[in-house]
Structure 1
């Protein structure tokens, strides 16, 4: 074969290679921008964002302890005589994130740095999978959607030593699996989501319902088999968590014991009562930092209240968008049904479970709703971006000040 013929065969691959590289630019840019914004918020709060201490807040210590030494549960007074008579330990936190941290630490990195690496890699993965679900084509709608993602409500926890970014990435992978018709990929995403955080259990419900909106090339019996099988495998993430807790404590109900003893959780609550308690929780009285406060921190000590209003407005906008699409097109795409179901469940679950001090970080996993946000009118997207940007700075200041748990 002549050199010219070889050149002709090789030529078509060049545009494809350029397209692949360009296709990565938007999620890379979104990841860089969200880190720069978060750095500026941390700087305004007088916190060193690029240090591991800047990412470590409250429950981060429990996740790191699981990564380092595994699970433990004991009566608090056994080690702290002056403490109230309740259970202590780290069995109230799921293993997906800390076990990922342990795996990365095998490279020689410290557990703290490994935790940041897992978080930031997961965050980049979120933008990459979201970009694929958006069609990987840059335009006003998709560009503004990514921009909203950089300052997503509660998104400050997507940078912290918490499992929120890893769990959200898993939910997006679960949606991608449903869209592609791969029940194994959907199950894998669901498994990681449930293993990372109790909120991840919403993936099980979505996968069960997927028989009614996904797997459309299959017959109804096959649809139900795929939906049920993927949901069952996803639910095994919870069983893996409980198995690890049992191995360490000898109790299958270790999680339930510490939730009831130390946190008075485990039963269903009245959601509107819990919403009111969440709104009225006196963070600024309980955890107000000492000394002179930076301007942003001083004006952000009650930002959880505006956060709740923003989250409610966001949910209503997503529901309205889905309704418009159904009226106009008489259908939703597979990934849009999945995102809608997950969004409603993620918003509702903390108020049924009684998470009055942590609902805002759970709600950060509503990031999956950005799949529907791309269909909003451009000016609605711009307005949403403006409000999200302001609220991101306020809630971020609360976080960096150590006020949020």
Structure 2
């Protein structure tokens, strides 16, 4: 079969994100191989069970049968008198899993397919945002992407990969001046995960740096309408919950009753509480632990330091570019806004037990990593690789939720 030079060029251009995805698989497999599961058995990375943790069961239950909410004592006599059910989790990811399961795959396997397809899409969209040209800077950026802190959740039965892909599509839509792509990406991000609300913030602020070819009234109209379209992801979620429970406030009710959430928190105090969560004491596996697991049981703590350093580097890079070049591209502005917002939201919302996986959505900040000096990129890559292994081992050992 003879391919035209143009087709061959396109295939070569598509290789870097595919290679980055494969490297991510191999690194995660190696971490799993060096870990043990919570029951002391070896981790079978290629199984669906290795990728499922607490919330995974709720996402799968939504995919199978939709939403439900009930008083816990109605089913479990010795349970505290709080609300049970799965209305604390958003529908974007479970509905994608349900759609894929229509092919005949099991729900568990469908969930992994959605996750891995979304991750491959993340690398592809990031590569496009980097200019799709292989240089030292873009190669190092893809390398950081393959071991991004918290990225083990990009392989898990969670909506993190799909939500991050949606944020990247939103950034790409703004970069291209495509209202529809930006709004669609924002809608999916919001529908997948509460942290996706940052897309609404981004789109509202986009009039300040995007749509530059339009007069100001049209810029504000595009910003407002795209933000409203993204916000409809919440309305869709609440409509599905109302259909199943006859309550519009089902999400808020279970958050208050069962998780003590729903109010705003002081972010620095919440950050300190999240840092002190004693995962090691709660979920340490029994028996002799592999070296990596034994040294990873408190990996959420260095994770916070690495995440904080990443945010500061992204902000510093943006400041340097503004001083030196007096401008950022639209995609760079969008990546800056999202990175800072994703970092702050879990602490404002009080996500002590899940901030480390929510922060994985700062992946969008890699758009600005391309503009960093190699003297910054290489140490960042080393720190991310070490932390990826530590948090990954913590995940596969069943210590993280």
Measured against the shorter chain, the TM-score band is over 0.9
For residue 15 of structure 1, report the CA deviation from its aligned partner: 2.6
The residue aligned with 2:24 is 34
C-alpha RMSD of the superposition: 0.9
Counterparts of 2:334 and 2:9, CA distance in 1: 28
Match of 1:328 in 2: 324
Deviation at 1:287, TM superposition (A): 1.1
- After superposition, the C-alpha distances for 1:293-348 in whole angstroms (9 at most, x for unaligned) are 22111110000000000000111111100000000010100000000000000000
Encode CA deviations 1:118-169: one digit per residue, 9 max, x unaligned: 0000000000000000000000000000000000011010000000000000
What TM-score results when the alignment is normalised by the length of structure 2? 0.97
Aligned-partner SS, 2:70: strand
Residues in 2 aligned to 1:208 and 1:82: alpha-carbon distance in whole angstroms: 47
Aligned to 1:22: 12
Q: Give the TM-score normalised by structure 1.
A: 0.96
Q: What is aligned with 1:358?
A: 354
Using the alignment, how far apart are the partners of 2:185 and 2:7 within structure 1?
28
Q: Distance in 2 between matches of 1:163 and 1:393?
A: 21
In structure 2, what is the Cα distance between the partners aligned to 1:191 and 1:143? 30
Distance (whole Å) between structure 2 residues aligned to residue 287 and residue 87 of structure 1: 24
Q: Does 1:275 align with 2:265?
A: no
Q: How big is the shift at 1:356?
A: 0.6
Residue correspondence of structure 1 range 157-236 to structure 2 within 5 A:
157-236=153-232
- The alpha-carbon deviation at position 14 of structure 1 amounts to 2.6
Q: Which residue of 2 aligns with 1:43?
A: 33
Give every structure 1 segment of 4 or more consecutive aligned residues whose post-TM-superposition deviation is greater than 6 Å.
none
**C-alpha distance in 2 between matches for 1:224 and 1:196:** 26
Of 220, 234, 241, which aligns to 1:238?
Answer: 234
Aligned to 1:8: none
Q: SS of the counterpart of 2:390? A: helix
Aligned pairs for 1:281-360 (under 5 A) are 281-360=277-356
Q: CA deviation at 1:28?
A: 0.3
Matched residues, number:
394
Structure 2 residue runs of 5 or longer lacking an equivalent are: 36-41
1:57 aligns with 2:53: yes
Aligned partner of residue 331 in structure 1, secondary structure = coil
- Greater Cα radius of gyration, structure 1 or 2: 1
Residue 84 of structure 2: SS of its match in structure 1? strand
1:16: Cα distance to partner?
A: 1.7
1:400 CA drift (Å): 0.4
SS of 1:48 mapped into structure 2? coil
Among 235, 254, 258, the residue aligned to 1:258: 254
Identify which of 108, 130, 144 aligns with 2:140. Answer: 144
Unaligned runs of 5+ in 1: 1-10
**Corresponding residue number in structure 1 for 2:38:** none
